[in-house]
Amino acid sequence: MYMILLSVFFPILAGVFLLIRFRTPLSGEGNASKRKTLVTLTGCFLVVTALFTGAAILTQKEGVTLFYLTKTLPVYFEIDRMGTLFSLLALVVLLCAGFFSFEYMKHEERESRYYGFYLLAFGVLNGLCFAGNLITFYLFFELLTLSSMPLVLHTGSKEAVMAGLKYLFYSLCGAYAALFGIYFLYRNCETLSFSAGSALKASAVAEQGGFLLAVAFIMILGFGVKAGMFPMHAWLPAAHPVAPAPASAVLSALIVKAGVLALIRVTGLFGRDFLQETWVQTAWLGLTLTTVFMGSLLAYREPVLKKRLAYSTVSQLSYILFGLAVMNEEAFTGSLLHVLAHGFIKAVLFLCAGAIIYKTGKTRVEELRGIGKEMPLTMWCFTIASLGLIGIPPTGGFFSKWHLAVGSLKSGLPVFDVLGPVILLVSALLTAGYLLPITVQGFFPGADYDYNTLQKKEPCGLITVPILILTVLSVLVGLFSDNIALAITAAGL
Amino acid sequence: MIVSVILIPFITGILIPIIPFEKRRQKEIFLETAVVLNSILVWYLLLHHSDSTFLLAHFTGNLSISFRVDGMGMVFAGLVSALWPFATLYAFEYMTKEKNENVFFLFYTLTYGVTLGIALAANLLTMYFFYELLTLVTVPLVMHTLTREAVLASRKYLYYSLGGAAFAFLGLIMVIVYGTTTDFIFGGVLDPAKITGKTDVLLLIYVMAFFGFGVKAAVCPFNSWLPQAGVAPTPVTALLHAVAVVKAGAFAILRLTYYSFGTDFLRGTWAQDVVMAVVMFTIVYGCSRAVKETHIKRRLAYSTISNLSYILFGAVIMTPLGLAGALTHLVFHAVMKICSFFCAGAVMHQTDRHYVHELNGLGYKMPCTFGIFTVSALALMGVPGLAGFISKWNLAQAAVESGNPLAWGGVGCLLISALLTAIYMLTIVVRAFFPGKDFDYATVNDAKDPNWKMLLPLFAFTLCIIGFGLRSQPIVDFLLTVANGIE
Amino acid sequence: MNFICNFPFFSILLSLFSGTICSVLPAKAAKVVNRVVIAVIGLLSAILLLYLLSVGEPFVYWMGHFPAPWGNEIRAGVLEAGMALFFCIIMYLSMAGGAHKLYDEVDESKHNLYYILVNLLLSSLLALVYTNDMFTAYVFVEINTISACGLIMIRQVGRTIEAAVRYMIMSLLGSGLLLFGLCIMYDLTGHLLMSNIKESVGLLVANGEYQIPLIVSIALMCVGLCIKSALFPFHAWLPDAYGYSTVSSAAILSSLVSKGYIFLLIKIIYRVIGFDNFNSTRIIDVLFVFGLMGMIFGSISAIRENDIRRMIAFSSVAQIGYIYMGFGMGTQTGMVASVYHILSHAATKSLLFIAAIGLTEVSGGSRKFADLTGAGYRNKWAGVAFTVGSLSMVGIPLFSGFISKLLFAQAAVQVEGKMLASLIVLGISTVLNAVYFMKTVIRIYTAAKDSPYGGMTFGKMKIYAITLIFFMLVNVLLGVSSQPVVDLIWQGLTMFS
């Protein structure tokens, strides 16, 4: 019973503790020991949280009602399969990126603030995954925005602050649009608990079905903001690149997934039957495909590496959303697979980009000629992850996209059943177009490359090991995709 | 008994300039004791109230000045009396830098009595009387600094308030003439036999009276006095212009709508649509002006404008749930706004900074103040787990429940306003904590957290915000009984 | 016949004779005589009022034992007695409050002249109140006009003379019209005594004879009295007359003289034409509209004014508009409200004038707002009194102005067609009142930096301060325990018909 609460509130309290304990800046001489304490503490906290989370997933079967916000609004936690999936992903990525940052953040100002909010975000993400009803979910959804914003504007440059605010306002805008829907759902649902599946009152559907569809659409748009769905995607390419690399990895791999989870929950509450073959589905499909294509195209044109990756996130996230919008089992499986695959892959890519910046300070793609020679291990990981994202078998990306395409073709939707796979394919080509040149240039700098200046710049273990782990995992997702798909299908979602 | 709670502040207030205190400290103790005692008395009164009406004096005809403790009165009186001792404590510290303390505390304490008078009034006339009185006793507070700005502000405040009262007066007349009594009776007092065929006129007068009382509640287009009145010392702006005065306006509207005209008469009429549309507009308007404003207190004042209209929005939904939502926001907003105002005041008091762009980097020098400010900002935005979420939730539920499409639009307005709230509040927070890379911390070395007299109220309010947010049920239950006319 | 029944006659004669006596007395003695006379008359009126209240019905007093329709009659009811009492109180207070100013502004040799005028004015007012004879009324209207002119002119500066001339012309025009109306009425009915005229008018109306001459006659009398009582748009004479005369005069003129005419008009309406007959003409609509316009334009002019005395004067225009609005409603309740407002306005306006003079005194005699800054601190009593007067004017509960507003509004609601118009104008006019009065209040309480003018202490102006206190008391009494007064007015008006 307590595990679940511990997994949520321990990191939050730990984060607050760090924020208060280390509130003065650490930079400057003589603070080395203090930094050491900070890092050790953070490491311990991370590991302990991970243990709590694992224990919670393993032991917790029934839900926990923490307290009631109002008479009918419980803050309620329950671990279901969906939550487990997302929280496992979060756990791994957060751990890896956390250890990565111990090295990466060495020279940044106000490290403690970063770790504090990092832990906060960890707890909040756990809460989000374990939330058992829409209200609790919404609570953590808002908190997630707030706790991750400081990560975005951590560097404090003008650009970062502007991006942070942009992130904040877009997210809140989305959250409030979703809240609008929640207000109405609350009246028109039997319960807001997720375990019940579709909970719309039959009478409500009969009386104001049209209005409820509009509500559903508003909620999709609202939560879609977090997942970077067109037309509210502009914050993502601004916010993700300015954060420190490990934070970017977390943002791109996990925090945007909160939007995905939200949409899964919401469509669950409305019920597929209610939304299927309505204008809402059509519009949603249209938006996701637009985003897929547009994201890839923008990434293709982007010269700054981290920004390119951010655009790629925009596009990839909408793969997942596309799978949700198709609303059948096959596509849904594809979506969830892609959640995992993209989560690992994007984390790897961002961490690699971070490693490059950390060692060489290079941020633009055209500067990366020969980088593969300097940092071979990092670049190998980068390459494998790239292949995964493009969807080359046997990586995770291939299988998820396969399921997505098959689901789409099976769906029998007019136009979109074919248009979907086509666009996915085009986007995959574009993905290859924007990722592979980096690898190619990195490893094959060309004849005029001056090998004499070559220096090995492979970073230390604290940076490479997390990257390696994540890379391996991204491949494993592909290898065991069948089992995962089976497990997901068995979850009956 | 019930009159004594109104009289004690009067007497105390008048005594302050008269008694020759040797030290400031003695005065503080005297005043604080009186205020605390009075608050205790009020709470005692509320908890042990009887249903009887206390008749103070016959006025003219069948009109009388009388008092009674009923549900709504309990809410407002309880709120005011809970906040006043804290605000007084805060004022002691704040006023060390201002002149003419005695006059200030005189009127400040008088206001306490007058506000209680509004809360405990048993009929419309009594309330109207104290409402007018409230304007008069608060003008000297606005005028306190006697700068040209303050004089202009107080002049405007006076015109607006008295002018508004003139139209509220028309509502009073209607109730006198067409009602069975002027007493507050849940569900309204209009006499069905008398009003046949006069519906439209009555509705028109209702709208006028709504705007009349609405002036104090800063309904658009009668809101411009409020930001201007921000020139007053912060305890005034915080307590009066975020709680007592403006809430008195909202309270009066609630009384007028639910206890005099009656919701059955008003619901579904064009009058409801008109006032609701205006209220919705004000919600958004106030917020957008707040975003543009760079003076901290004025920004908060605009925020108040918008939030007051939340309350009114609940009121004009005209269902018991709506009233419950309105009352919830009445209470919760009071705590949240007074908290943020006190933070702003602390900053102004400690560092003499008045504009948002001057706040860069102060967060590390005044962690308590800005930490609390952040909490109140989040609460105002309506982050779940804090007080603001609950009241917005109740309001939105009432709107959804009412089945009135315009009210559904109102839910949208609430959310737009929440977003704008995030913008104008969090930009301050971000500035304070994230001043930017090349910020020179030496420029804020002079700043530090204020002393306990200022911090104690702040912490108390923060606790309330969180407490209400996490465990609102007892309060909301109570408010629901009030809103259903049981209490 | 009870001895008390002689009191009305005594009062009129007393003030007339004392006026004559004053002409031969030195100024100091004249002052004493004047005060005593006012006090005695007030006392007489009070006794009379009590007597009438106990008896419960009015009496008619024959002058020289000639019965109607030949003799001259005095009639006294509750309302008349109450009015006389009230006039005495206000006059006494106004005289007391403005006395010190009189020394500054009026030539020493003219002081006893001043008291003559005041006594004459009082006698004419009393006569207007008590008389039951139209021609007597006319005669005293003229006496009233002349003494009022004198009161204005006694302070001899250029503007008062101009004002007095203007007042004279307008007033004479008014009385001329009144005389015309009277003549026509006499032609139609053959009577001068009010009760007799009323009977004849009743017959005329019942038979449908002489409709147009009747209406013309009524209209002429109304217009005449409207001009004299400064109903908008006939108010051009007012601001200068009130604004520049010595303060006692201004207070008396604004609160009593114009009220005397209005009271005469009420008498004419009730006792000459008949309330219902009057209401069936269109004249009340005209009065109503002019009343509303007066309420608004009077206030607007006041807002634009930069001179405190003139501002108060313009405010009178608005307040007289209120009274005529009450007439225009054509109901008994409206009339009650109007009569109440006569009282409340009289009490408030004289208070304001007297208080204003205290403020200007401590501001170097300047009446410009800029110089008045902070005057409320320099002369505390005047400041408080002015504030009280202003609040009453704005209609804050506890003060008399609120009750009259309440009565007007209640009356308005009962008149179907005029309800909205009057309510809305009432609201707007309150806003406007608030604007200019509160502007002044804030101004006098804005601390002036290094003001060159000295302050006033209680010791230096005992009588003045006490007067103000009494004025405020009257005001608050009217505001708090209004019910007896309202009852009295009801009773009096019922006795009229």
Nearest CB neighbour to B367, from listed A23, A146, A158: A23
pLDDT value at position B285?
92
Answer whether residue A466 is part of any domain: yes
What's the confidence (pLDDT) of residue C68? Answer: 66
Question: Partners for A (CB, 8 Å, 3+ pairs)?
Answer: B
Count of domains observed in chain A: 1
Measured CA to CA, the distance from residue C93 to residue A410 in angstroms comes to 101
pLDDT over 70 at C175, yes or no: yes
Instruction: Compute the mean pLDDT over every residue in chain C, rounded to the nearest whole number.
Output: 85
pLDDT of B278 reads: 92
Cis peptide before B20 (omega within 30 of 0): no
Question: Considering CB atoms only, which of B383, B434, B471 is closest to A153?
Answer: B434
Select from B331, B383, B420 the residue whose CB has the most chain A CBs within 10 Å, as the one to mutate to test that interface: B383
Q: Answer whether C touches B (≥3 Cβ pairs < 8 Å).
A: yes
Q: pLDDT per residue over B51-79, tens digit each? A: 778 887 777 777 888 888 888 888 898 88
Does residue A42 register a pLDDT over 70? yes
pLDDT tier at A124 (50, 70, 90 boundaries)? very high
B155 alpha-carbon distance from chain centroid: 20
At residue C69, the pLDDT reads: 67
Assess if residue A110 is contained within a domain. Answer: no
pLDDT in tens, C427-443: 888 888 888 888 888 88
Residue C389 dihedral angles phi and psi, to the nearest 5°: -60, -45
Residue A143 falls within a domain, yes or no?
no
- Hey, is the C-beta of B163 within 8 angstroms of any chain C C-beta? yes
Residues 6+ apart with CB under 8 A from B220: B278, B281, B282, B285, B286, B305, B309
Residues from chain A contacting residue B331 (CB–CB below 8 Å): none
User: Tell me, what's the pLDDT at B487?
Assistant: 61
Low-confidence ranges of chain B (pLDDT < 70): 487
Q: Given C413, C431, C446, which is nearest B166 (Cβ)? A: C431
* Domain assignment of residue A198, yes or no: no
B463: Cβ contacts below 8 Å, ≥ 6 apart: none
- Whether chain C lies against chain A with 3 or more Cβ pairs closer than 8 A is no
Percent above pLDDT 90 for chain A: 15
Q: Is residue A50 part of a domain?
A: no
Residues B199-235 have pLDDT tens digits of 888 888 899 999 999 888 888 888 888 888 888 888 7
The answer to whether B67 touches B77, Cβ cutoff 8 Å, is: no
DSSP assignment letter at B52: P
**Residue C355: CB atoms within 10 Å:** 32
- What's the pLDDT score for residue C177? 92
pLDDT at residue B279, rounded to an integer: 92
- Rounded to a whole number, what is the distance in Å from the CA of A159 to chain B's nearest CA? 10
Q: Per-residue pLDDT averaged across C24-51, rounded?
A: 86
Which B residues, 201 through 260, put their C-beta within 8 Å of a C-beta on chain C? Answer: 201, 204-205, 208, 212
List all residues of chain B from 403 to 442 with a beta carbon under 8 Å from chain A: 408, 411-412, 415-416, 418-419, 422-423, 426-427, 430, 433-437, 439
pLDDT at residue C451, as a whole number: 64
* pLDDT at C1 exceeding the cut of 70: no
Res C458: pLDDT: 66
ipTM of the modeled complex: 0.85
Lowest mean pLDDT among A25-34, A286-295, B160-169: A25-34
The answer on pLDDT for A28 being more than 70 is no
Domain assignment of residue A291, given as a range:
276-493
Check residue B263 and give its pLDDT.
Answer: 85
Q: Spell out the SS3 assignment of chain C.
A: CCHHHHHHHHHHHHHHHHHHHHCCCCHHHHHHHHHHHHHHHHHHHHHHHHHHHHHCCCEEEEECCCCCCCCEEEEECHHHHHHHHHHHHHHHHHHHHHHHHHHHHCCHHHHHHHHHHHHHHHHHHHHHHHECEHHHHHHHHHHHHHHHHHHHHCCCCHHHHHHHHHHHHHHHHHHHHHHHHHHHHHHHHCCCEHHHHHHHHHHHHHHCCCHHHHHHHHHHHHHHHHHHCCCCCCCCCHHHHHHHCCHHHHHHHHHHHHHHHHHHHHHHHHHHHCHHHHHHCCHHHHHHHHHHHHHHHHHHHHHHCCEHHHHHHHHHHHHHHHHHHHHHHCCHHHHHHHHHHHHHHHHHHHHHHHHHHHHHHCCCCCCEHHHHCCHHHHEHHHHHHHHHHHHHHHCCCCCHHHHHHHHHHHHHHCCCCCHHHHHHHHHHHHHHHHHHHHHHHHHHCCCCCCCCCCCECHHHHHHHHHHHHHHHHHHHHHHHCHHHHHHHHHHHHHHHC
Considering CB atoms only, which of B129, B140, B173 is closest to C413? B173
| A28 class by beta-carbon count within 10 Å (0-12 exposed, 13-18 middle, 19+ buried) | exposed
The alpha-carbon gap from A176 to the nearest alpha carbon of chain B, in Å, equals 6
Which pLDDT band holds residue A162 (cuts at 50, 70, 90)? confident
CA distance to partner chain B, nearest, from residue A175 (Å)? 9
* Interface probe with B: pick from A120, A183, A189, A221, most Cβ of B within 10 Å: A183
Please report the sign of the dihedral spanned by the C-alpha atoms of residue B408, residue B410, residue B414, residue B415.
positive
Q: Does B177 touch chain C (CB under 8 A)?
A: yes
* Chain B nearest CA to A233, separation (Å): 17
**Domain map of chain B by residue range?**
281-487
Higher pLDDT, A313 or A209: A313
Provide the residue ranges of all domains of chain C, joining segments of one domain with +. Answer: 282-497
Q: Are C80 and C204 in contact (CB under 8 A)?
A: no
pLDDT band at C449 (very low <50, low <70, confident <90, very high): low
**pLDDT of the residue at B358:** 84
Residue A430: per-residue pLDDT: 92
d(CA C356, CA C372): 10
Residue C26's pLDDT is what? 81
Q: Tell me the chain B residues in contact with residue A23 when contact means C-beta distances shorter than 8 Å.
A: 364, 367
The answer to whether residue C296 scores a pLDDT higher than 60 is yes
pLDDT at B313: 92
